[in-house]
Structure 1
């Protein structure tokens, strides 16, 4: 490139597309082979990002993920750049072309190792689960605070009713329900009631009232 900038004519054709003069920008961002690699990554991440520079790719592709997914996506970007360079060298020095599908498979295989080696955690989201599954990465979820809830049956000869009520908003469509059990925990019966447009407190209260009426 320095010789070209000084006015020296150098014949250097891109080995991947064999159509354009090979520059760093063309090889890694504008070559049809590279464009297919970046389009695959955008489709995988369900994101659109600036593929005209590494900074443009990293500024949008890596942001917004959990720590584990961020490591995985960063590795995918790095391996994509490496794969483009590797395919170029194989074609130039060994006259062997690597097909697009094989290149993607190699990127996924290398990214799988990186994603599974990290000690970071992943968000509990469908999007990250889908991406990690496509890459063969096992997601590590951050442990949530677990609260133990115990249920005890009533005394002999008694019947217990557990009721609940909720509204899908405040106010929105609401309902309540309840179940009756004996001292052995056997199910004796239950009820449910559509309460129309109400608030949560009303739904909870109506659950108790209907339980007493039963």
Structure 2
């Protein structure tokens, strides 16, 4: 296999030409496992990854054909001519799909390699909405924030029923905590409010994947463990679930948490700001 990569000047010049098309310096004289690892690692930083990966089989194929032609047929082509053949093959087979407009350097790369068909992946637009709970349930949207991580932290939460009506909302200044701690404390303190409100069917939505996973598995960090243990009997009597939601579906709780942290307050909102009022109306 070494003659396909290193052993004579024709092979080395063809590899150099292919790599230079990507503005990558060819590194000869590596053993095969190291070369494969380097090739895969380099692909991660390139715009046209599929073209680069395909080169690992395409270039040796051209080298092998040229070697056989020179030995058995007595004819030869220059490395420059063979590189044109490689570019033609790339142009025929490769349609490079990318998610963003090409930079100047990437456009030059496409030109050097003969990538003539470059198309852009259309951006996927996804509408994210808050959804009311099923009949007989109450949904709690909870959020926590830390200004500094760690820094001044706040927790916010809002309870709404199946008709999107606000049953209760809260904001609490927590002192100094990390974002994760604020998110976890926000959920657990809101569970205490749910207990006091006598809620029997509760759907909790939280913006932190880590918090959702830990609570689902009952793996509560020490900072909240005592409060969690005090809620055990209530949780056992409760029909409940916890799920993750995108930030776009949680703007009200996010507002409550941020204002609690920013202004160091735990008092309720007297009147909703216009943008939050619009969000509540859209949710309805």
TM-score of the superposed pair, with normalisation by structure 1? 0.48
TM-score of the superposed pair, with normalisation by structure 2? 0.37
Tell me which of the two structures has the higher relative contact order, counting C-alpha pairs closer than 8 angstroms and 6 or more residues apart.
2
